[in-house]
Amino acid sequence: MLAVLRLWQVSGKNSDGNSHQGDVWSHNSQNCYVRAEQQLVATVGVQDLVVISTKDAVLVAHKDQAQDVKHIVAQLKANQRPEVTFHREVYRPWGKYDSVDNGERFQVKRITVKPGAKLSVQMHHHRAEHWIVVSGTAKVTIDGVDQYLTENQSVYIPITAVHALENPGKVPLELIEVQSGSYLGEDDIVRFEDRYGRA
């Protein structure tokens, strides 16, 4: 949090002394650092606050007590809250994924694969997957059979099918992955080969 305060000190400020990052609107607010990573954040009639809104959580703290966020982190750990270890957006060597939604027996992710990158050749014991290409080109291999998908095309990967996903193009590949099954944890991945040494 001290880094955030230093960032506020050196960043550009408006006439009320506020530093805004992202989609932020303020009225009658002074000397605040407000960062909105995903959604609109509005402040009204406040001063000397740090307000950070991410995909995972929202933090509101007085600037004089921002260093005490460690106490909240300790409470979250003690209560085994998923926010301590689970983050919506996760970066991998091949790109990233954003866990958009989940419920009993399903999970939805938005996956971005860098140009030329490839996910591991893998299979799952407990889940099937549906991939829908939003933009870019996907090379999909299922049980040794290659196919190419482009925007608005989709494919189904059954439980235990050995599969891989690759971006053969020059622009990022964006797709929506819908997982369904009895267990959806990241540890239900059996890797057979991997460019990044994880097999």
Which tens digit of pLDDT belongs to each residue from 83-124? Answer: 887 778 889 999 999 999 999 999 999 999 999 999 999 999
Examine the domain organization and report whether 69 and 126 are in the same domain.
Answer: no
Same domain, 96 and 152: yes
pLDDT surpassing 70 at residue 3 = no
134: confidence class by pLDDT, cuts 50, 70, 90: very high
Angle at 188 between CA 182 and CA 191, to 5 degrees: 145
Residue where one domain finishes, among candidates 83, 99, 124: 83
Together in a domain, 189 and 135: yes
Q: Which residue has the higher pLDDT, 2 or 39?
A: 39
Are 66 and 107 in the same domain?
no
Which pLDDT score, from 0 to 100, does residue 22 have?
94
- The answer on pLDDT for 157 being more than 60 is yes
Q: 77 and 109: one domain?
A: no
The predicted structure's pLDDT at residue 87? 79
Q: Are residues 78 and 92 in the same domain?
A: no
Q: Are residues 28 and 113 in the same domain?
A: no
**Alpha-carbon dihedral of residues 110, 114, 120, 121, nearest 10 degrees?**
90
Q: What is the pLDDT of residue 55?
A: 83
pLDDT digits (tens, 9 = 90+) for 53-93: 988 889 999 988 888 888 988 999 899 887 887 778 889 99
Predicted local confidence at residue 2, as pLDDT: 56
- What's the distance, CA 61 to chain centroid? 24
Residue 199 lies in a domain: no
Please, is 96 exposed, middle or buried when counting C-beta atoms within 10 Å of its C-beta (0-12, 13-18, 19+)? middle
In the predicted structure, residue 133 carries a pLDDT above the cut 80: yes
Which CATH number do you get for residue 107?
2.60.120.10
User: Containing domain of residue 27, as a range?
Assistant: 2-83
pLDDT at 10: 79
CA–CA dist 62, 32 (Å, integer): 9
Same-domain check for residues 111 and 76:
no
pLDDT level of residue 165 (50, 70, 90 thresholds): very high
Residue 1: what pLDDT? 52
Instruction: Mark which of 33, 54, 83 sits at the end of a domain.
Output: 83
Residues 143 and 158 in one domain: yes
Last residue of a domain, one of 40, 55, 83: 83
Average pLDDT for 117-133 = 97
Q: How many domains does the chain have?
A: 2
Do 49 and 93 reside in the same domain of the chain? Answer: no
Q: Does residue 56 sit in the same domain as residue 119? A: no
Do 97 and 147 fall into the same domain?
yes
DSSP-based three-state secondary structure for 111? strand
